[in-house]
A and B are shown apart, each in its own frame.
Chain A
């Protein structure tokens, strides 16, 4: 059974940093692209970026809205996905999900999400 479990969310001050983690299990981690997606309360989800699989060199792509502030990485020995977020703003407040998919734009498996609140 595919499982994704996010952690690391909470309250952070504007301008601060936070690292989210996602523990993956139940599938061959290195075979899959991994995604971070966020969703402000009551709004549509927003893709933040993804990291490719082993066959595609683990390269990354980012939404322009977070490029340069957010960094996605993975530890393939521990089946972990990470999202490093810097210079956080109030508008970054959202539930953050990790996900993996079966093809482009098809996120078949999602974690339960972790809430990040950026506020003073």
Chain B
């Protein structure tokens, strides 16, 4: 099974600051077709998860360029710049090799 390890479990950031969230997989996420299906989601309190990033670095429609994804193989990062109050919630990575999510990173605003 592909295990997704997200770090940190939680973090606190000041408004306007920048944060990075790491997602590491137990095996390479490169698909047979050469694509890497690694996505990032934000679940705001009381809401369904929302897609931020897909295929490692592609922002979904309407997502601010303050969110950026990077990485390859087994190591991936979500960066959030100029943090705003609406960014709080739990961030999950999700991978397409065996369709699993990471355990989540809770973002709190200082």
Chain A residues proximal to chain B, CB less than 8 Å = 44-47, 50, 63, 97, 101-108, 110-113
19 residue pairs bridging A and B, Cβ less than 8 Å apart: A45-B92, A45-B101, A46-B100, A46-B101, A102-B54, A103-B54, A103-B55, A104-B31, A104-B37, A105-B38, A105-B94, A105-B99, A106-B37, A106-B54, A106-B55, A106-B96, A108-B51, A108-B54, A110-B48
A87 and B81 alpha carbons, distance in the complex (Å): 46
Residues of A within 8 A of B39 (CB): 105-107
A108 and B48 alpha carbons, distance in the complex (Å): 11
Q: Is A45 a contact of B49 with CB atoms below 8 Å?
A: yes
B102 CB-CB contact with A under 8 Å: yes
Q: Is B48 a contact of A113 with CB atoms below 8 Å?
A: yes
Q: Main secondary structure on chain A at its contact with chain B?
A: strand
Residues of B within 8 A of A102 (CB): 51, 54, 60
A50 and B94 alpha carbons, distance in the complex (Å): 15
Considering only residues 14-50 of chain B, those with a C-beta below 8 Å from chain A are 31, 35, 37-39, 41, 48-50
B7 CB-CB contact with A under 8 Å: no
Q: Is B101 a contact of A44 with CB atoms below 8 Å?
A: yes
A34 and B95 alpha carbons, distance in the complex (Å): 16
Residues of A within 8 A of B103 (CB): 44
Residues of B within 8 A of A104 (CB): 31, 35, 37, 96
A108 and B55 alpha carbons, distance in the complex (Å): 12
